[in-house]
A and B are shown apart, each in its own frame.
Chain A
Amino acid sequence: NAGVMQNPRHLVRRRGQEARLRCSPMKGHSHVYWYRQLPEEGLKFMVYLQKENIIDESGMPKERFSAEFPKEGPSILRIQQVVRGDSAAYFCASSPIRSGTLGANVLTFGAGSRLTVL
Chain B
Amino acid sequence: AQKVTQAQTEISVVEKEDVTLDCVYETRDTTYYLFWYKQPPSGELVFLIRRNSFDEQNEISGRYSWNFQKSTSSFNFTITASQVVDSAVYFCAQLYTGGFKTIFGAGTRLFVKA
Residues of A within 8 A of B (CB): 33, 35, 41-45, 48, 55-56, 58-59, 89, 91, 93, 98-102, 104, 106-112, 114
Contact = CB atoms under 8 A, between A and B. Distances in A.
Given A45-B101, A111-B44, A112-B43, A100 B106 contact: no
Interface of B: 6, 31, 33, 35, 37, 42-45, 47, 50, 91, 95-107
Contacts of B105: 42
B91 A106 contact: no
B100 A56 contact: yes
Contacts of B45: 43, 91, 93, 109, 112
A107 B100 contact: no
A99 B104 contact: no
Q: Is the interface of B mostly helix, strand, loop or mixed?
A: loop
A110 B42 CA distance: 12
B108 to A, nearest CB: 10
Contacts of A56: 100-101
15 contacts: A42-B6, A42-B106, A43-B45, A43-B91, A45-B101, A56-B101, A98-B100, A99-B100, A100-B96, A109-B44, A109-B45, A110-B44, A111-B42, A112-B43, A112-B45
Contacts of B100: 33, 48, 55-56, 98-100
A48 B106 CA distance: 20
Nearest to B101: A45
A59 B91 CA distance: 19
B47 to A, nearest CB: 5
B52 to A, nearest CB: 8
B43 A48 contact: no
A98 B99 CA distance: 9
Given A42-B91, A102-B31, A109-B47, 17 more contacts: A43-B45, A43-B104, A45-B102, A45-B103, A55-B100, A91-B45, A99-B95, A104-B33, A106-B50, A107-B47, A109-B37, A109-B44, A109-B45, A111-B42, A111-B43, A112-B44, A112-B45
